[in-house]
Chains A and B, each alone.
Chain A
Amino acid sequence: RKEVEQDPGPFNVPEGATVAFNCTYSNSASQSFFWYRQDCRKEPKLLMSVYSSGNEDGRFTAQLNRASQYISLLIRDSKLSDSATYLCVVRNQGGKLIFGQGTELSVKP
C-alpha cells in the first residue's frame, strides 16, 4: 500500500460545480498535511496547509480526519482557472515529506 494515495481522476466538472478530493495516508503518526496545485509543465505551488480543526481559504476548504486517516479538499463554485493537478502532501513522524500522485481536475465551460 502506498503511504499517500489519491484518486488520479481526471475529475471533469462544469463551471460553478462543487468538487471534493480525498487523500488517504497509511502512517497514523503523520505530523502535517498540505495541498499543492500543479499546472501543466509548471512547478507545484502551495495551495493550503491542512489544520486539525479544518480551514478555509475563499472557495477552498481543507479537512483532516485523523481517525480515518484522510484529508480532503473541497472547491466550491469551480472556475476554469481551477483546472490543474492537486497534490496531497504528508509529512511523516520522521519529518519526511511524502507526495501523492496527484488528482487531475478539469473545469469545463
Chain B
Amino acid sequence: ETGVTQTPRHLVMGMTNKKSLKCEQHLGHNAMYWYKQSAKKPLELMFVYNFKEQTENNSVPSRFSPECPNSSHLFLHLHTLQPEDSALYLCASSQDERTVSSYNSPLHFGNGTRLTVT
C-alpha cells in the first residue's frame, strides 16, 4: 500500500471545465512533486515543492496551477486544458531534496490520476 494517495484515479473533463487533482502523503516527507507521463513517454517533472515553497516550475503552461497548503497536501488545479494534456499525472514525495543528508531518500509515488481531456 502506498503512503501517497491521489484522487481521483480517473478523470474525464472537457476543455472548458475546471477540476483539481489531490495528493496526500503520510510519510512525513517535506518535498512533493507533480509529474506528467504521456503514453509511451518518459516522466516529465512539472513542479516541486519543498516545505510548501515552490522550488521548481518546469516551464509548465499556466493552465496547470499547483497549490501546496502544507507539507502533506498537494493540489493541481486544471482549467481550459487541451486534448494533448491527456496523460497520467503522478504525485510523489521525498525528504527535502535541498538537504544533503536527504540525498539518499528515494521518491515515493502515488497511484496517479489518469486524465482524459475531450
Whether chains A and B associate is yes
Given A41-B88, A97-B97 in contact, is the A49-B104 Cβ separation under 8 Å?
yes
* CB closest chain-A residue, reference B4: A43
Given A41-B114, A95-B97 in contact, is the A100-B106 Cβ separation under 8 Å?
no
**Contact size class for A?**
20 to 34
CB-CB contacts of A40-83 with B at 8 A, as 1s and 0s?
Answer: 01111110010000000000000000000000000000000000
Interface residue ranges of B73-105 to A (CB < 8 Å): 88, 90, 94, 97-100, 102-104
Given A43-B111, A102-B42 in contact, is the A31-B90 Cβ separation under 8 Å?
no
User: Closest CB-CB distance, A7 to chain B, in whole Å?
Assistant: 13
A contact residues around B112 at 8 Å (CB):
42-43
Residue among A34, A42, A89, A96 making CB contact with B97, cutoff 8 Å: A96
* CB closest chain-B residue, reference A31: B103
Name the prevailing secondary structure of the A interface residues: strand
* CB closest chain-B residue, reference A87: B43
A contact residues around B103 at 8 Å (CB):
31-32, 91, 95
> Are B42 and A45 interface neighbours, CB within 8 A?
no
Residue among B94, B106, B109, B110 making CB contact with A49, cutoff 8 Å: B106
* CB closest chain-A residue, reference B41: A101
Residue among B42, B56, B94, B98 making CB contact with A99, cutoff 8 Å: B42
> Are A32 and B109 interface neighbours, CB within 8 A?
no
Measured CA separation A71–B78 after assembly (Å): 38
> Are B106 and A34 interface neighbours, CB within 8 A?
yes
> Are B110 and A43 interface neighbours, CB within 8 A?
yes
Write 30 A-B pairs (CB below 8 A) sorted by A numbering.
Answer: A31-B100, A31-B103, A34-B106, A41-B114, A42-B111, A42-B112, A43-B90, A43-B109, A43-B111, A43-B112, A44-B90, A44-B107, A49-B104, A49-B106, A87-B43, A89-B106, A95-B98, A95-B99, A95-B100, A95-B103, A96-B97, A97-B45, A97-B94, A97-B97, A97-B107, A99-B42, A99-B43, A100-B42, A101-B42, A102-B42
